[in-house]
Amino acid sequence: MAEEQEKDNTWAIVGVSIAAIVLLVVLLKKDETKHLESGAVASLQKETFNNIEKRKTSNNSSAEAMSGK
């Protein structure tokens, strides 16, 4: 009698694993960029640059005062 061959599911398991990993990466990337849509980053950058500019102008004025100008 001929022996029955077992069905090999290796490629099916590999394919499902790859699809699951791709789906997981897409979902995590979507969640990672969610904070960019709120505008919080833009307002924080604007505030930071304003503070840096204030420091530059206050440093320049104190240097001028020290030199007697």
In single-letter form, the type of residue at position 23 comes to L
Mean pLDDT of 6-23: 94
Asked whether residue 10 carries a pLDDT value surpassing 80, the answer given is yes
Asked whether residue 63 carries a pLDDT value surpassing 60, the answer given is no
pLDDT: is 62 or 23 the higher one? 23
The CA-CA-CA angle for residues 11, 18, 15, to 5°, reads 20
Task: Specify the pTM.
Answer: 0.45
Q: Is the dihedral of CA 26, 31, 33, 39 positive or negative?
A: positive
Could you say which DSSP state residue 68 is in? T
- Count up the domains in the chain and report the number: 1
* Domain assignment present for 52: yes
Mean pLDDT of 17-46: 86
Task: Give the C-alpha separation, 9 to 15, whole Å.
Answer: 10
The domain in which residue 48 lies consists of: 40-69
Asked whether residue 25 carries a pLDDT value surpassing 60, the answer given is yes
